A = this chain, B = another copy of it.
């Protein structure tokens, strides 16, 4: 069976950048980068040894794979723009069903890397779990081969489960990050720098690499320490949003404690 060798990458954001670099490193040829914003496309294309394309007409018709690394809302639009029954297209979204691509081509799939990406942050892609899905067994095999080249963890995950995993990722990444932002504000209100919280944040994330999070839970809410909880709510009296958030998370932690 033939494997994927040449790729057209659509998109110039964080995922496009990190995924593109990983694909190139795995030995694949990124032929073109298609992006609506010219400068970004040219910059990424240069980094990938690819050509930048700004109009759909310029897109190579015979690449082995078209990777749509664009925002959720743009996936169908882009697929419509480059549609061709024979082109193998994948999107990279956690929450968009694979079927969104089926009106535009007979060969479609998903390559969803479960990680938070920044354009400017290096990251070992080998550690990033990659979830794949495809409309046919043959194409799933092709994506498996591609994903194995960039990651040490490849999983076949159908759309309905991918959606749940994406929700889990919000709780694993976006929500903790917001908690860090609140912690930052509180430290500054005490005249201290966010710097002092960094070792705690890192150790908390490291701990659950070894211990299940329910076993790693500590703090006043878990102990049911009313005195400290009340004192904390009092400290937050001038920030009702954060106070309500504190109360709700503490109650949830308490529920699961009593449920033990």
Contacts and interface: CB of A to CB of B under 8 A. Distances in A.
Given A176-B205, A241-B255, A197 B168 contact: yes
A114 interface: yes
A183 to B, nearest CB: 4
A222 to B, nearest CB: 7
A26 interface: no
Interface string A210-236: 111110111111110101100110011
A56 B218 CA distance: 29
A201 interface: yes
A192 B177 CA distance: 23
Number of chain copies forming the complex = 2
Interface stretch (A74-82, A116-124, A135-143): A116-124
Nearest to A241: B252
B177 A208 contact: yes
A39 interface: no
A240 to B, nearest CB: 11
Pick from A157, A196, A209, A210 the residue with the most CB of B within 10 Å: A196
Given A129-B199, A191-B161, A176 B176 contact: yes
Contacts of A182: 168, 171
Contacts of A129: 196, 199
A180 B213 contact: yes
Interface stretch (A45-53, A100-108, A242-250): A242-250
A196 B114 contact: yes
Secondary structure call for the A interface = helix
Interface string A183-202: 11011011110101111111
A134 to B, nearest CB: 18
Contacts of A217: 174, 177-178, 181
A60 interface: no
B72 A204 contact: no
A115 B171 CA distance: 22
Interface of A: 71-73, 95, 114-116, 118, 121, 123, 127-129, 153, 155, 157, 161-165, 167-184, 186-187, 189-192, 194, 196-214, 216-223, 225, 227-228, 231-232, 235-236, 241-242, 244-246, 248-249, 251-253, 255-256
11 contacts: A73-B227, A115-B199, A116-B200, A172-B201, A174-B221, A174-B253, A178-B253, A179-B179, A184-B212, A194-B208, A205-B205
